[in-house]
Amino acid sequence: MFLLATVVSFIGSLQAGLVNTAVLATTLRSGKQAGRSLALGGAIPEFIYAGLAFGFGTLISLLRSDHPGVVKWTAAATLTGMGIYFLFFFKLDLERPGKATGGTWKGLLIGLANPQLLLFWCGVKLSLVTFGFDGDGMLDLLAFATGAFVGAMILLLLLVNWGTKAKDRMHATALRWIFRGLGLALIVGGLFALR
């Protein structure tokens, strides 16, 4: 259960999401340690939401079918808002690095602000049941939730390392365009969430 959740979490985190973008931006602005701190906080919601989904997956999927608009509009607003920020307002000055603020708590709040994580993990849990992985004890829950955390953390730490190398090797203008591209991807993701 742990290895399955780790692999699913890593693959599921490969998109241009809120936490990924924030970790990369923080690493470029404030350095490796700040990026790692934000990554830790950003991975904790994976543990929380995967644990909730494991225990209450069926109930949550029923709530989703009764109130799909709330989740859809919240996800769309969050993704679009962050996309607009990175597309139009994000400033990256590599000569004068910014002060790291928030750290782990900031990462935690950004991760918790993404309600799609809960739905994602509900879907994963229900899919695993159809393939015969229907563990339901406390050890299975902990293995599932910990795997979700570890998979996300691995990807986020890879982003921190990439950001650290990119800061030394890439021109600031190229990095700004990367973030504009990520902002556009988040806006498209927000609009896609409304369909």
Q: What is the pLDDT of residues 99-152, one digit of tens each?
A: 555 688 888 888 888 767 777 777 777 666 666 666 677 888 899 899 999 999
157 near 47, Cβ under 8 Å? Answer: no
Is the predicted pLDDT of residue 63 greater than 80, yes or no? Answer: no
Is the predicted pLDDT of residue 47 greater than 80, yes or no? Answer: yes
- Per-residue model confidence (pLDDT) at position 30: 83
Which of the two residues, 175 and 147, has the higher pLDDT score? 147
Mean pLDDT of 70-77: 66
Mean pLDDT of 65-82: 65
Tens of pLDDT, residues 2-45: 887 787 677 666 666 778 888 888 888 888 899 999 999 999 99
- Per-residue model confidence (pLDDT) at position 37: 93
What is the total count of domains within the chain?
1
Is the predicted pLDDT of residue 98 greater than 70, yes or no? Answer: no
Report d(CA 166, CA 176) in Å as an integer: 12
Is the predicted pLDDT of residue 153 greater than 90, yes or no? Answer: yes
- Per-residue model confidence (pLDDT) at position 146: 92
**Residue 90: Cβ-neighbour burial (10 angstroms; 0-12, 13-18, 19+):** middle
Is the predicted pLDDT of residue 50 greater than 60, yes or no? Answer: yes
User: 7, 126, 113: which is closest to 59 by C-alpha?
Assistant: 126
Q: In one letter, which amino acid is 62?
A: L
Write out the residue range of the structural domain in which residue 148 sits: 2-193
Tell me the pTM.
0.68
